């Protein structure tokens, strides 16, 4: 063992790992730290927070599963190339147990950077309470860990964040320009904090509604929406998000979106629980089946029924009050015989379509939505409700 390796091993055995580092100030009060460490030792200071749901359905962690193929490819490169190079830094989020001690100031450095020593506490190998979490670079870290190399120094960029919300926001920002699964981003959005790109901010409210419908209520959609932590769900999360976005833009949920005072999630969840509870009651043979067996649970059905929810809410309450489940059910029953979710033929204005020929395309979604709303408007004219005649 060389002298450098001996000194490195001694530092690892201490209760505190001290590494020379640079502190860089970004903005008024954020600081990042850059330092080098043997890649074999990253797992002594940082863990990987896998995305999962606890027994209480609360969201924990944020990282996707480890890609075995990706890790193996990097490891092969490290083991076979005579002069391997991994220049990209691994990003780690530390908690406040990590401290930076600056060196004595010098006049020949920029005002936004200073050198010093980063002190990182060490815990036992089996202790999950590491001071850091890997935000970006878990595949590279795993490959270095498993490689045959005795040592492989890497660059680390770190920041200190006390909350998981801040860590999740940074994880989304780092990965949103990469091939990160959209479902993972959507499931993380409700518990993310801080500045996010505008397209993601727009989806934060519908993503929060999806989370609450799926996990936080006892309503008809509990456990029904397919997400990374609920892969057995029957309804695709993107279909539900599109339905919610449509309603938030100018439908039943629009008055409660809270541009200034914040979203009124209570009223929105009540509307959604009441409507989809009525759907489950009126169409029991089509509810809760896989999309291939029921077009009600299919993307086209979910989005089209969302438009119908908006139409009923506007007709009955003028989009300014929460309708009850029985009120929604009364109007759905009026068009039940016109629906062919699991068998039969849809009699669209431009021709008949076998029930399972309806696809999740803009044309078919529009065709089905117009069909349902037209049948509903006819039923409204035929049998006015007491509430409408007030």
- Evaluate whether residue 367 is within a structural domain: yes
Residues 166 and 308 in one domain: no
- Evaluate whether residue 235 is within a structural domain: yes
User: Domain boundary at 170, 195, 223, which?
Assistant: 170
DSSP letter, residue 212: I
**pLDDT tens, 319-346?**
567 899 999 999 999 999 999 999 999 9
Confidence label for 4 from pLDDT (cuts 50, 70 and 90)? low
pLDDT of residue 12: 46
Confidence label for 318 from pLDDT (cuts 50, 70 and 90)? low
Q: How many CB atoms lie within 10 A of CB 12?
A: 15
Residues 226 and 106 in one domain: no
- Evaluate whether residue 175 is within a structural domain: no
pLDDT of residue 9: 47
- Per the CB < 8 A criterion, the answer to whether 176 and 197 are in contact is yes
Residues 162 and 207 in one domain: no
**pLDDT tens, 29-88?**
889 999 999 999 998 998 886 555 666 676 555 555 666 788 888 999 999 888 999 999
Sign of dihedral through CA atoms 125, 126, 127, 131?
positive
Residues 235 and 160 in one domain: no
pLDDT mean over 182-206:
80
91 strand-pairing partners? 136, 157
Q: Which stretch, 55-64, 162-171, 233-242, has highest mean pLDDT?
A: 233-242
C-alpha 272/C-alpha 323 separation (Å) is: 10
pLDDT of residue 135: 84
C-alpha 66/C-alpha 57 separation (Å) is: 22
pLDDT at 386 over 90: no
Residues 166 and 217 in one domain: no
- Evaluate whether residue 184 is within a structural domain: no
Alpha helices in the chain (DSSP H): 3-13, 68-80, 138-146, 164-175, 182-188, 198-202, 204-211, 237-250, 265-282, 299-317, 325-333, 362-382
- Per the CB < 8 A criterion, the answer to whether 169 and 192 are in contact is yes
Residue 70, C-beta contacts closer than 8 angstroms, at least 6 positions apart: 139
Confidence label for 18 from pLDDT (cuts 50, 70 and 90)? very high
Task: Give the pairing type, strands 132-136 and 90-94.
Answer: antiparallel
Q: Say how many domains are in the chain.
A: 2
Confidence label for 177 from pLDDT (cuts 50, 70 and 90)? low
227 strand-pairing partners? 230
CA dist 19 to 102, 118, 130, 199, 227, Å? 12, 5, 17, 39, 40
Residues 329 and 373 in one domain: yes
pLDDT at 390 over 80: no
Residues 143 and 272 in one domain: no
Question: Which residue range forms the structural domain that includes residue 44?
Answer: 3-170
**pLDDT tens, 279-314?**
999 999 999 999 999 999 999 999 999 999 999 999
User: Domain boundary at 153, 170, 187, which?
Assistant: 170
pLDDT of residue 189: 87
Residues 101 and 226 in one domain: no
Residues 31 and 141 in one domain: yes
**pLDDT tens, 238-280?**
999 999 999 999 999 999 988 677 889 999 999 999 999 999 9
- Per the CB < 8 A criterion, the answer to whether 235 and 305 are in contact is no
50 strand-pairing partners? 63
Name which residue leads in pLDDT, 262 or 209.
209
Residue 14, C-beta contacts closer than 8 angstroms, at least 6 positions apart: 122
Mean pLDDT, rounded, of the chain: 86
Residues 132 and 242 in one domain: no
DSSP letter, residue 42: G
- Evaluate whether residue 186 is within a structural domain: no
Residues 119 and 207 in one domain: no
pLDDT of residue 209: 95
Sign of dihedral through CA atoms 247, 248, 250, 255?
positive
- Evaluate whether residue 212 is within a structural domain: yes
pLDDT mean over 359-386:
87
Share of the chain above pLDDT 70, in %: 82
- Evaluate whether residue 141 is within a structural domain: yes
Q: How would you class 65 by CB atoms within 10 Å of its CB: exposed for 0-12, middle for 13-18, buried for 19 or more?
A: exposed
pLDDT at 129 over 60: yes
Long-range contacts at 259-266 (CB < 8 A, ≥ 24 apart): 263/205, 263/208, 265/208, 265/209, 265/212
- Residues composing the chain: 390
Residues 161 and 218 in one domain: no
DSSP string, 54-71: -TT--EE--BPPP-HHHH
- Evaluate whether residue 103 is within a structural domain: yes
**pLDDT tens, 85-111?**
999 999 998 988 999 999 987 667 788
Query: How big, in percent rounded to 5, are the helix, strand and coil portions of the chain?
Result: 45, 20, 40
- Per the CB < 8 A criterion, the answer to whether 222 and 282 are in contact is no
pLDDT at 5 over 70: no
C-alpha 366/C-alpha 375 separation (Å) is: 14
């Amino acid at each position: 063992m060389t002298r450098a390796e001996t000194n490195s091993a001694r530092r690892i055995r201490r209760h505190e790992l001290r590494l020379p580092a640079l502190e860089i100030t970004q903005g008024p009060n954020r600081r990042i730290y850059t330092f080098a460490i043997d890649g074999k030792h990253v797992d002594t200071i940082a863990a990987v927070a896998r995305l999962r749901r606890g027994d209480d359905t609360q969201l924990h962690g944020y990282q996707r599963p480890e890609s075995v193929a990706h890790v193996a490819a990097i490891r092969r490169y490290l083991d076979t190339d005579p002069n391997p190079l991994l220049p990209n830094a691994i990003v780690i989020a530390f908690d406040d147990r990590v401290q930076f001690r600056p060196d004595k100031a010098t006049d020949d450095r920029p005002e936004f950077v200073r050198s010093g020593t980063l002190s990182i506490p060490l815990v036992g190998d089996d202790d999950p309470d590491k001071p850091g979490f890997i935000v970006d670079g878990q595949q590279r870290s795993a490959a270095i860990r498993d490689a045959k190399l005795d040592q492989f120094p890497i660059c680390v960029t770190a920041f200190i964040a006390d909350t998981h919300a801040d860590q999740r926001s940074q994880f989304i920002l780092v990965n949103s320009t990469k091939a990160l699964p959209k479902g993972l981003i959507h499931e993380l959005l409700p518990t993310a904090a801080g500045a996010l790109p505008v397209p993601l901010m727009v989806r934060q409210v519908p993503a929060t509604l999806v989370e609450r419908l799926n996990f936080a209520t006892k309503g008809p959609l509990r456990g029904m929406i397919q997400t990374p932590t609920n892969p057995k769900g029957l309804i695709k999360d993107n279909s539900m998000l599109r339905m919610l976005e449509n309603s938030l833009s100018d439908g039943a949920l629009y008055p409660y979106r809270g541009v200034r005072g914040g979203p009124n999630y209570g009223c929105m969840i009540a509307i959604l629980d009441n409507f989809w509870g009525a759907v489950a009651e009126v169409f029991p043979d089509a509810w809760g089946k896989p999309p291939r067996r029921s077009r009600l649970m299919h993307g086209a059905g979910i989005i089209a029924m969302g438009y119908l929810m908006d139409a009923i809410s506007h007709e009955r309450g003028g989009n300014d009050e929460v309708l009850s489940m029985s009120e929604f059910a009364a109007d759905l029953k009026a068009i039940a015989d016109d629906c062919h979710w699991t068998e039969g033929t849809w009699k669209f204005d431009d021709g008949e379509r076998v029930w399972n020929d309806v696809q999740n395309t803009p044309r078919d979604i529009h065709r089905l939505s117009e069909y349902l709303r037209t049948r509903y408007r006819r039923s409204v004219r035929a049998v006015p409700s007491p509430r409408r005649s007030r």
